[in-house]
Structure 1
Amino acid sequence: RFFCQTNLVLAVYGITLITGLPANLLALYTFVRKVKQNATPIDVLLLSLTISDLIFLFFLPFRMKEAADMKWTLPYFLCPLSGFIFYSTIYNSTFLLTAISVERYLGVAFPIRYKLKRRPRNAVIASIIFGVVSMAHCSIVYIMQYYDHGNGTIIDPSKRNVCYENFSHEQLKVLMPVRLELFLVLFCIPFIICCFCYINFIHILSRLPNISPKKRFRAIGLALGTLLVFIICFMPYNLSHVVGFIAWSSPDWRVYALLTSTFNACMDPFIFYFSSSALRGTFKHCLKGLVKRLHLSCCRRTFSWPQLNCSMVEESTQSSNDSSR
């Protein structure tokens, strides 16, 4: 059982890291350029979400190491640090996704009034507040790891080989109410706000007569993508908080519910794609470059006179690009 669980954890973490890292790096490059040129609130929020995902992915190998060894073998200070970053970035993502939904809704519901009042600075302030609130709630990781509420003494970290597990009854008295609060405040409220904003967002766009089918498709993709992230990535893990509070112990399936949360880092780029025209342009540019390289590579392997024929392909490709311009 533990062997299968270890393989599953490593597979999910590996897929998330391999797919999420390049996609988020591409998004980071795009949004940094966009913010420098002409920053808008949505660009700031998307940049903040990208940075949050990259921080999450940076600490993911520590959890992969723990899963591979089936115990914590790294320096112990990395245990609460990795857990703190892991959970904080998850809840920070819920806040940022909610803020993006609010921004999109206000943009179509009150286009003139909101355009006059929106400021990138407000998005920066909101991102900072989201990060502080998420880290404040998830500081419970440090409290649980280092303090024994039964005898009021500090536990020697060198005697531990597990990370954020095997809590005492006194620790559960503090942990379980906090987890229930996480479910209510950091998941339910953002999820309800997202549902309200995107349902009305789609409803308003559907009534506009001059909206193009492509724009309507992107709007629906943005709404469905965000709601799917909440349902697939965040809901199972947060439901485990409720089940754990009722049973007063962590459910056995909590480890699998936590795995779905990691997919957030590789699903967010889809939201970026539907939200930002700049990212769509960067993605299409990179895709065309990749297709061109693959085409030239196949050409060199196929033709018997590679230099002659491939140079002809390069010239024809260049001329077609020049004519399209």
Structure 2
Amino acid sequence: MSHSTHMRSSIGALVLLLSCFDNLVFGELSQDFSKCRNFFYKGTPPRGVNALGYEPICQCFKNQFRFATMYQRQHRTPLYSAYVISSADEKSPLFKRPISWMYEPQLAFSHGNTEMKTFDRLVDKNVMKSQAVPQDYKNSGYTRGHLNPSMHQNTRDDRVATFTLTNIVPQRQDSNLELWKSWEENVLKMFKAFCEGPMYVITGVMPYANGARWIKNRVYVPEYMWSAYCCPSYKAKLPLFPTYAAVGRNDRNSGEEIVPVNPNARTALRGYDVRMMPLNTLEGILAQRLNMPISLFEGRCQ
């Protein structure tokens, strides 16, 4: 076994040892990510997220933590999800998307379970009040956009766990299935080709600068998607390491001050461009748009 394979196996074993029910009190949303800090570089979540209403969730599925999400209950969407990327085993069975989506009982009930659950046919009013439900996305004109994409996970259970609506934002189809997907695929390729240890990823959203957008007056629509990775151990000296980032347009009619439009893109995709950039450029954009001086990775992943 190579050194890099051993490191990735060790990380996987660590995650498996973190039992949700051994570490979390039933029905109590944590005030921080203390139970799932392993999904952040050096165990340190992004600094500077100081707005009211954000709730940290250690995302639990089958009694194991799978990733971490900073959730906004009033928006019924996450601000970001953080995870450790792992490449799928090419020999593993083909993954099929789960038929049913999931929700967080701990957001809906004072004594709710900390483990995500599949939606019932009749959605409880407390669930509907606290978070997005499948009906919100039906005929909305938006797809369900993953912040932690299933393609970045290895085991079937890790992939299934990404299909909770607390990991989802309203995303235009041509962004979700085309240009933003290409960014996600490129990150996975770089991980496989150049990382010699874990790759920490944080993916989130930016609201509109002027006037909120909603689907069905319930779920907040982002103007931009953003993502950054941290790979502290990598092969040789490479320009896109140890960190790099990107911002993607989720509205083809947005201005071009953050992400310019490629006039040569085919018509269907024009306006959903993705701009790659250094980490500090992304953090500067987030500080201005979110009005929060966010630092995504401890020590800038050095």
TM-score of Structure 1 vs Structure 2, range by shorter chain:
under 0.3
Q: Is the helix fraction higher in 1 or 2? A: 1
TM-score after normalising by structure 1: 0.24
Q: Which protein has greater RCO, CA pairs closer than 8 Å, 6+ apart?
A: 1
Higher strand share: 2
